[in-house]
C-alpha cells in the first residue's frame, strides 16, 4: 500500500490476457459501467472485513514475452529498468538471467538512435524560440546526455539523471545551470513557459547539430532468439513449479 492508501497490484504474465481482463473489469467497476454481480467479496460473509475494493487498487505489470522481444531489440527503457537501483521486490531468477545477457544483446548503435530521436522530437515541440517550456529542458537534456554516455563507452544508460550529468558534462557553467534548474524543480517552482535558458539552450542546440551530423540508422545487432526462447520457457517452468509444488 502506498502513501495515498492505494494497494498496488502487479501482474507478471506471458501474454497479458488475464491481466487485461482483470484491469478492464476493475476500471469498468470504478466507472460504474457494470455491477458487482458474481464478485465473491460482495457476499454477506465478507461484509465488515474491510477488504479492499477495485477503487482502492492501482495496477502495473510485466509481460515476459513482450519484455524479451524488447530486450532482443536492445530497448533502452527496458535496459534502464533492468539496472534500476530501486527494487521493491524480486522473485524468481528471470530478471537476473536477463541482466546476465545484457552484454550480448546491448546495442549502443540502436540505443543512441533511440535517445537522439527522443531529444530531437522534444526539442522541436518544446524548446524552439525565445519562450520555451522550461520543465521540458529535462526531456531534451537527459536523452542528449544519454547519447554522450553511450559515445563514451560507459555501457547501458543509468536511470539516475545526476549520474549522467556527473559523468558526461565537463563545463562547470553548464553543470551549475542544470543544478539550478533541478533546484527549481525539486523546490516546487512552476516550470511552465518562460524565457529560454541560454547556457542550457546553447549546449542542447550544439549537441543536436553534432549528433545529427552522424546520426545512426537505428539498426541493431542480429540477436540470437534461441537463448531468449529457452529463457522464456524456463521462466514459466520455474513459476509453475512453485505454484504446483
pLDDT value at 220 more than 60:
no
Q: What is the pLDDT of residue 245?
A: 58
Query: pTM for the complete prediction?
Result: 0.76
User: How many CB atoms within 10 Å of residue 183?
Assistant: 10
112 shares a domain with 42: no
122 shares a domain with 75: no
**53 band by pLDDT with thresholds 50, 70 and 90:** confident
What DSSP string describes 119-185?
Answer: HHHHHHHHS-SSEEEGGGHHHHHHHHHHHHHHHTT--SPPS-HHHHHHHH---HHHHHHHHHHHHHH
41 shares a domain with 116: no
Q: What is the pLDDT of residue 65?
A: 86
In a domain, 240, yes or no: no
Summarize pLDDT for 184-206 with one digit per residue, the tens. 998 888 788 999 999 999 999 99
92 shares a domain with 172: no
114 shares a domain with 100: no
Summarize pLDDT for 133-149 with one digit per residue, the tens. 999 999 999 999 999 99
Supply the range of the domain harboring residue 72.
7-105
Max avg pLDDT among 57-71, 103-117, 185-199: 103-117
- Among 75, 129, 74, 119, CA closest to 215: 119
Mean pLDDT of the chain: 87
- Distance, CA of 116 to CA of 78 (rounded, Å): 17
In a domain, 61, yes or no: yes
- Among 163, 107, 117, CA closest to 143: 117
**153 band by pLDDT with thresholds 50, 70 and 90:** very high
Summarize pLDDT for 89-104 with one digit per residue, the tens. 677 788 899 999 999 9
- Distance, CA of 146 to CA of 167 (rounded, Å): 10
In a domain, 1, yes or no: no
174 shares a domain with 113: yes
In a domain, 228, yes or no: no
Contact 104, 72 (CB under 8 A): no
Q: What is the pLDDT of residue 219?
A: 62
133 shares a domain with 206: yes
pLDDT value at 236 more than 90:
no
Tell me which of 150 and 9 has the higher pLDDT: 150
In a domain, 95, yes or no: yes
User: How many CB atoms within 10 Å of residue 182?
Assistant: 14
- Distance, CA of 113 to CA of 116 (rounded, Å): 5
169 shares a domain with 122: yes
Cell of 201: 539552450
In a domain, 153, yes or no: yes
In a domain, 150, yes or no: yes
In a domain, 56, yes or no: yes
Last residue of a domain, one of 74, 105, 136: 105
Tell me which of 162 and 85 has the higher pLDDT: 162
pLDDT value at 1 more than 60:
no
Domain count, the chain: 2
32 shares a domain with 63: yes
203 shares a domain with 132: yes
pLDDT value at 12 more than 90:
no
63 shares a domain with 16: yes
> Average pLDDT of 69-85?
92
21 shares a domain with 82: yes
- Distance, CA of 204 to CA of 216 (rounded, Å): 19
Amino acid at each position: 500500500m502506498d502513501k495515498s492508501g492505494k494497494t498496488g497490484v502487479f501482474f507478471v504474465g506471458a501474454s497479458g490476457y488475464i491481466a487485461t481482463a482483470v484491469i478492464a473489469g476493475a476500471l469498468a467497476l470504478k466507472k460504474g459501467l457494470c455491477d458487482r454481480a458474481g464478485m465473491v467479496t460482495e457476499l454477506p460473509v465478507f461484509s465488515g472485513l474491510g477488504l479492499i475494493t477495485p477503487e482502492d487498487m492501482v495496477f502495473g505489470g510485466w509481460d515476459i514475452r513482450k519484455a524479451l522481444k524488447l530486450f532482443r531489440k536492445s530497448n533502452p527503457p527496458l535496459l534502464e529498468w533492468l539496472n534500476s537501483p530501486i527494487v521493491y521486490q524480486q522473485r524468481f531468477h528471470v530478471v537476473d538471467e536477463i541482466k546476465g545477457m545484457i552484454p550480448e544483446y546491448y546495442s549502443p548503435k540502436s540505443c543512441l538512435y533511440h535517445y537522439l530521436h527522443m531529444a530531437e522530437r522534444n526539442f522541436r515541440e518544446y524548446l524552439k524560440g525565445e519562450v520555451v517550456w522550461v520543465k521540458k529542458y529535462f526531456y531534451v537534456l537527459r536523452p542528449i546526455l544519454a547519447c554522450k554516455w553511450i559515445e563514451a563507452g560507459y555501457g547501458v544508460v543509468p536511470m539516475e539523471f545526476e549520474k549522467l550529468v556527473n559523468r558526461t558534462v565537463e563545463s562547470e557553467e553548464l553543470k551549475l545551470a542544470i543544478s539550478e534548474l533541478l533546484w527549481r524543480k525539486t523546490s516546487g517552482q512552476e516550470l511552465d513557459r518562460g524565457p529560454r535558458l541560454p547556457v542550457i539552450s546553447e549546449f542542447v542546440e550544439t549537441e543536436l547539430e553534432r549528433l545529427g551530423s552522424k546520426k545512426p540508422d537505428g539498426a541493431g545487432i542480429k540477436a540470437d532468439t534461441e537463448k531468449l526462447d529457452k529463457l522464456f520457457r524456463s521462466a514459466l517452468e520455474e513459476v509453475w513449479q512453485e505454484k504446483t509444488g
